[in-house]
């Protein structure tokens, strides 16, 4: 695996644009491809919107929006990049085809990563001549701020490719989490899915509105989750015995509170969910909500940085790398 100078973006929607912004901020050249009409304009506009956020969280010395090139073909991106991140719609047929096209055009040392939310890399390898470099790198929205990326390989992925991908993601300021088994939904989305099903049940059963359920997270457990995950938080919740004591008090078999089978998404449920979220948004447009979200996330991250905790440590380490790179340039 050689030096990665050019990052390829295949599919420049919400996630692809986030990857492009993160890579540009890390001082890389970016080649992007998206067949939808107007995609280049939307991508450049999105990056202009995001750039002030990146200036706040740290830019490598050579970072520039001018280093983005929008390509006319997938092959152009594949030939010119040393690391390609596929972020096309979540359809297995489309992703298998895209992987075989990228694999056919890219140098055999180029890593091909998919942003898939839960499909498996072994399936993406099916029609590849060089499957050893095919991995999943599952990010979280907004990709340019949230450090987590779940990294896993398929049956034919080489250990060398996984190591190279982990090192690359660290270099661009992320927290790569190696997922050791190839399981659908990986780790984080399985946890989110469990919560999401419960939310839909509570709305469907008219127990609570989307606003009440968001409050139940944002003012309590959500704040704690920014520091540690559920296990560490529950360990602190039962003292002096910690987790051992907690499991005796809160054995889920004694409190069968949840029902994890999903409810049917009826018209009525979809409407309740949508109207509930529109009420929450109030007068804010999507752009304005994204700005509020990014600003609040930076506030939380800065507070974690002061304590060198959780995601704050990832940002501290990355900003240290940026300072070192700037000093080396002087
Ligand atoms: N939205 C999220 O929160 C999120 C989070 C993590 C991972 N993901 C995953 O990231 C991927 C992209 O999701 P998104 O939310 O950005 O979707 P999106 O719909 O915003 O973007 C997908 C983009 O792919 C483009 N596209 C369609 N056909 C293509 C082709 N043949 N070649 C290249 N590009 C093509 C579309 O024009 C569109 O711009 C999906 O696999 C999704 O599961 C999404």
Domain assignments of the chain as residue spans, ordered by start: 6-178, 188-329
Whole-number Å distance, alpha carbon 90 to ligand 1 midpoint, is 7
Q: Is the pLDDT of residue 237 over 90?
A: no
The whole-number pLDDT of residue 255 equals 65
Q: Is the pLDDT of residue 251 over 80?
A: no
* Average pLDDT, integer, range 56-63: 95
The whole-number pLDDT of residue 99 equals 98
Pairing between β-strand 148-153 and β-strand 134-138 as defined by DSSP bridges: antiparallel
Whole-number Å distance, alpha carbon 10 to ligand 1 midpoint, is 9
What is the percent of the chain where pLDDT is above 70? 96
Whole-number Å distance, alpha carbon 46 to ligand 1 midpoint, is 15
CA–CA separation, 84 and 95 (whole Å)? 13
The whole-number pLDDT of residue 160 equals 97
Q: Do 6-178 and 188-329 share a fold?
A: no
Alpha helices in 125-266 (DSSP H): 159-171, 188-204, 210-218, 221-225, 230-237, 243-249
Residues at CB less than 6 angstroms from ligand 1:
10-16, 33-36, 39, 87-90, 94, 98, 115-117, 138-141
DSSP string, 276-291: HHHHHHTT--HHHHHH
Instruction: Tell me the β-bridge partners of 137.
Output: 151
Helix or strand (DSSP H, E) at 86: strand 83-86
More confident residue, 71 or 284: 71
The phi and psi torsions of 231 (rounded to 5 degrees) equal: -65, -50
Look up residue 266 and give its DSSP letter. -
The whole-number pLDDT of residue 131 equals 98
Look up residue 133 and give its DSSP letter. G
Question: pLDDT digit string (tens) for 148-199?
Answer: 999 999 999 999 999 999 999 999 999 999 999 999 999 999 889 989 999 9
Contact 42, 166 (CB under 8 A): no
The phi and psi torsions of 280 (rounded to 5 degrees) equal: -60, -40
Q: Ligand 1, atom 11: nearest CA belongs to which residue?
A: 87
* Average pLDDT, integer, range 55-72: 96
CATH number of 188-329: 1.10.1040.10
CA–CA separation, 16 and 89 (whole Å)? 10
Phi-psi region of 283 (alpha: psi -120 to 50; beta: other; left: phi over 0): alpha
Encoded tokens for 209? 């509105």
Question: pLDDT digit string (tens) for 146-160?
Answer: 999 999 999 999 999
- Structurally, at CATH architecture level, domain 6-178 sits in 3-Layer(aba) Sandwich (3.40)
The phi and psi torsions of 30 (rounded to 5 degrees) equal: -130, 130
The whole-number pLDDT of residue 219 equals 84
Encoded tokens for 86? 């596929």
Model confidence band, residue 261 (pLDDT cutoffs 50, 70, 90): confident
Q: What angle do CA 160, 156, 121 make, to 5 degrees?
A: 100
Contact 86, 114 (CB under 8 A): yes
* Average pLDDT, integer, range 22-32: 98
* Average pLDDT, integer, range 233-261: 75
């Amino acid at each position: 695996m050689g030096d990665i100078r050019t990052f390829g973006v295949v599919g420049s929607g919400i996630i692809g644009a986030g990857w492009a912004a993160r890579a540009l901020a890390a001082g890389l050249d970016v080649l992007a491809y998206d067949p939808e009409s107007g995609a280049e304009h939307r991508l450049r506009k999105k990056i202009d919107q995001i750039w002030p956020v990146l200036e706040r969280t740290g830019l490598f010395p050579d970072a520039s929006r001018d280093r983005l090139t929008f390509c006319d073909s997938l092959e152009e991106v594949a030939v010119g990049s040393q690391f390609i991140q596929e972020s096309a719609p979540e359809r297995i047929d489309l992703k298998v085809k895209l992987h075989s096209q990228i694999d056919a055009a890219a140098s055999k040392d180029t890593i091909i990563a998919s942003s898939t939310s839960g499909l498996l890399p072994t399936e993406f390898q099916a029609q590849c001549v060089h499957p050893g470099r095919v991995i999943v790198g599952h990010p979280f929205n907004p990709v340019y701020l949230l450090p987590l990326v779940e990294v896993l390989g398929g049956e034919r992925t080489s250990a060398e490719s996984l190591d190279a991908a982990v090192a690359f993601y660290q270099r661009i300021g992320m927290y790569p989490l190696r997922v050791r088994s190839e399981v659908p939904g990986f780790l984080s989305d399985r946890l989110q899915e469990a919560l999401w099903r419960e939310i839909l049940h509570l709305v469907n059963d008219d127990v609570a509105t989307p606003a009440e359920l968001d409050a139940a997270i944002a003012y309590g457990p959500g704040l704690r989750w920014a520091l540690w995950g559920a296990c560490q938080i529950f360990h602190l919740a039962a003292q002096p015995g910690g987790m051992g004591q907690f499991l005796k008090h809160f054995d889920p078999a004694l409190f069968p509170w949840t029902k994890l089978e999903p409810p049917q998404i009826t018209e009525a449920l979809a409407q309740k969910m949508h109207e509930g979220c529109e009420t929450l948004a109030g007068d804010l447009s999507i752009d304005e909500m994204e700005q509020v979200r990014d600003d609040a996330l930076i506030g939380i991250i800065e507070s974690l940085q002061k304590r060198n905790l959780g995601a704050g440590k990832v940002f501290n380490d990355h900003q240290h790398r940026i300072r070192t790179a700037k000093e080396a340039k002087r």
